[in-house]
Amino acid sequence: MKDFDTWNVHKKRIDTSNKLLYFHTREVWWTYLGVNVGYEQDGKNGDFVRPIVILRKFNKQIFLGIPLTTKNKPNNPFYIEFKHGDQKYSAVISQVKLLDVKRLKRKMYRLDSTQFRKIQKETMNMIEREN
């Protein structure tokens, strides 16, 4: 059972926050993704966070982000694998989402430009692909 009530309390606190964080394309941040409907990616743990990569910054307040997971699905075209340090991750490009800066918790690292371009390219291919 998903804990929508606890997430709603967190969401109200996040929404009233006045923090102004500086973020850039290619950065990976812990992000408050919360509890979502159905198969949409949820945040984890008590803070309902998940790492995301910033795909596109639109202005100081909003950006397009892609959730990351440590689950790799090599035969799934929507999971783009990459490695950071000794850890393997997948960018779940089918879950690309518009997010507000208030959802950002803490910067983790900046993604290598080659890996980022691969994620970017596969995201565009997914959008342009017909079924």
Span 63-82, average pLDDT:
93
Q: Which residues make Cβ contacts (< 8 Å) with residue 33, sequence separation at least 6?
A: 41, 42, 43, 48, 49, 50, 52, 67, 103
Residue 67 has pLDDT above 70, yes or no: yes
Q: At which residue do the structure tokens 């996040």 appear? A: 14
Confidence class of residue 94 from pLDDT cuts 50, 70 and 90? very high
Other CB atoms within a 10 A radius of the CB of residue 113 amount to 10
Q: How high is the mean pLDDT of the chain?
A: 91
Give the CATH number for residue 58.
2.30.30.110
pLDDT at residue 7, rounded to an integer: 84
Span 88-97, average pLDDT:
95
Spacing of C-alpha 73 from chain mean position: 17
Confidence class of residue 18 from pLDDT cuts 50, 70 and 90? confident
pLDDT at residue 44, rounded to an integer: 85
Q: How far is Cα 72 from Cα 89, in angstroms, rounded to an integer?
A: 7
Give the number of domains in the chain: 1
Residue 5 has pLDDT above 90, yes or no: no
Range of the domain at 83: 4-128
pLDDT at residue 77, rounded to an integer: 92
